[in-house]
Amino acid sequence: PVTINFKNDKERVGVAIMGGTFDPVHNGHLRTAVEILDRYGFRELKLIPCFQPVHKSAPSVTAKQRLDMVNMAVSGDSRLVVDDSEIKRAGPSYTIDTLHAIRDDVGVDEPLIMVLGMDSFLSLPTWHNWQDLIQYAHIFVVSRPGWEPDLISELNTFCENYRAASPLELQCAPSGLVWLETLTPLGISSSMIRSLCRKQSSIAYLLPEPVQAYIEKNQLYR
């Protein structure tokens, strides 16, 4: 049994965190972020572009270009905050290091909510020190087309020990819970956008217009 004890029910609690390569950022990332903020009223959602992804090949454009695009994408919503700490830190971007730094920053009591698409969640056991991640943050798994729930069976044992009874429970503890959430399905990926660019096909409506214009102006992903 959980009592939700907001100091003031208008007060927003918790910091959501979405890491990624953002090569480039797209509406799948952004729609996921705003739906989570609207549904659960977390204080903010940090988008954290990695410097060097640990489990995939090097990004197609520079870290500065990926960061510029994320900055352009969030300009309309003050709850979306771009965090360049992985890029500043350079080297391989281990999530455990990032969570450690954010935890130091926000203090021991603030709920941290690490958002992972279903594909990322399924790859979790390959991440550096993955079993420690939950000590620093809750794990908030979002649905992603192509990665349907029957695939999560392998991780059910992991979830069983940690599963939250309700997403609001995430605001009552600083870390330690897993929540699976179904959002509006958007079959958009950065790989798909890069592939369209290579074919010189349109990428309109898959990502914010300023990001599209930046890609076209700089002839990225050709």
Contacts with ligand ATP, residue ranges (CB under 6 A): 18, 20-23, 28-29, 32, 116-117, 119-120, 142, 144, 186, 188-191
**Residue closer to ligand ATP (CB basis): 6 or 64:** 64
Spell out the residues 6+ positions from residue 7 whose beta carbon is closer than 8 angstroms to its own.
none
Place of tokens 């799948």: 28
Dihedral pair phi/psi, residue 104, rounded to 5°: -60, -40
- Cβ of residue 8: shortest distance to ligand ATP, in angstroms? 32
**Residue closer to ligand ATP (CB basis): 20 or 111:** 20
- Cβ of residue 107: shortest distance to ligand ATP, in angstroms? 25
CB-based closest residue to ligand ATP: 117
Q: How far is Cα 51 from Cα 62, in angstroms, rounded to an integer?
A: 9
- Cβ of residue 199: shortest distance to ligand ATP, in angstroms? 16
Q: How far is Cα 10 from Cα 211, in angstroms, rounded to an integer?
A: 34
How does DSSP classify residue 147? Answer: B
Characterize the bridge pairing of strands 138-142 and 112-117.
parallel
Q: How far is Cα 118 from Cα 8, in angstroms, rounded to an integer?
A: 33
**Residue closer to ligand ATP (CB basis): 11 or 191:** 191
- Cβ of residue 53: shortest distance to ligand ATP, in angstroms? 8
**Residue closer to ligand ATP (CB basis): 147 or 172:** 147
**Residue closer to ligand ATP (CB basis): 105 or 119:** 119
- Cβ of residue 137: shortest distance to ligand ATP, in angstroms? 13
- Cβ of residue 210: shortest distance to ligand ATP, in angstroms? 18
The H-or-E segment that residue 69 falls in is helix 63-73
Burial class of 208 by CB neighbour count within 10 A (0 to 12, 13 to 18, 19+)? buried
Yes or no: say if 39 and 46 are a contact pair by the CB < 8 Å rule.
no
**Residue closer to ligand ATP (CB basis): 114 or 164:** 114
The number of angstroms, rounded, from the C-alpha of 155 to the middle of its chain's C-alpha atoms is 19
The strand pairing partners of 19, in sequence order, are 48
